[in-house]
Structure formats: C-alpha cells, structure tokens
Chains A and B, each alone.
Chain A
C-alpha cells in the first residue's frame, strides 16, 4: 500500500533555530515524487519543495531543504533559521509514478515558532 506517515503531530522551535519535520513513505514503485506543502492558518496550500526519486542531490529551496534517504524511505523537511511566519501545518505528500494529479498526503505536523 502507498502511504505517507508523519509521526510528529506538533513541534515547537525557537525563532532562528533549525527544525526537522519527519516524513516516511511506503511504495513499491521505483518512480515517485515527494513534496512538502505548508498550510498557514488562513488555509491555503503553499508548495515548498519537490524531490524526485531519481534525483541524486537533496532538493533545496531557500531556507527549505529535503533530506532524502531512499533506503530508509524518508523525506524529512529541514527549515533553517526559523521565522515566526513559519508557524503553520506542514504536509508531506507523494505522487507515485509522477502521475500528475494523484497526491497522497500525510496527516501533517503543526509547527509553532516561539519568539
């Protein structure tokens, strides 16, 4: 079965520190994509970062990086230098075979950044 697991319902981090949000995935397919989305309290879904299963380098986008460990089937999100505006829900998602419209989401992690 294809599944995304986020085991941290809630996380706290001090402003300006780094934080890692955990994500493990389960699929028997070789080709897939992994995503992280941010959902602030206003409700919109904001794309943060993408990692393809065949990408050898970890993806980075500004303060966001994806720690991709294929053998462990993990795709953790690292946010460096946390800001108050980073307080939000974060969702890990997978697109098996990069099928285009079929994302499987985890349950999310609520991140709170303390001043």
Chain B
C-alpha cells in the first residue's frame, strides 16, 4: 500500500525567510502524481503545487517550489520569501495515475513569525 510520511509536525519560519517542508512516500508504481495542499484556518483545501512523476523537472509556482527525488521517493516543498498568509497546515499527497484516491500525509503546521 502507498504511504505518505511528513516527519515534521510543526515548523516555524520568520517572515521573508525560506522554509522547506519534508515529505517521503512509498510506492511500487512508476506513474503517479504528487501534490502539496495548503489548509489555512478557514479549512479550505488549496492546491499549492503538483508534480507528475514522469517529469524530471521540479515544479514551481511563484514562491513555491518542490525538490522531487524519485529514486529517494522524496518530495519536499520550499517556500521562499515567506508571508504571514502562508501560515497553515500543509499536506503532502500522492495519487497513482488513473487511480481515484489521494493518500495524504499527516500534515505539517507552518507558523510564520513577523
């Protein structure tokens, strides 16, 4: 079974600094998708970034970028120039291609200090 592990229950970052959230996963599949979701205090799940496993290039969305290491099964999220609005719970998630289910990690609470 596929599993997703987020080993950092909580992280803190100073405003304008950079922070990296860790995620590892376990799968025997070769084609899959990886996602980072943000859940702010409103609890609305927001897609931050996605990565297709077949793409070697790391995905980037403005201040958010990933470090995808397929062989190591690692998928970390880097947030640059952190802003107060980045404070939220972040979930790493996995989905096999053509499958239905998203497998979520336990989440990392990110606190941003002003």
A and B: interacting chains: no
- Chain B residues within 8 Å of A, Cβ to Cβ: none
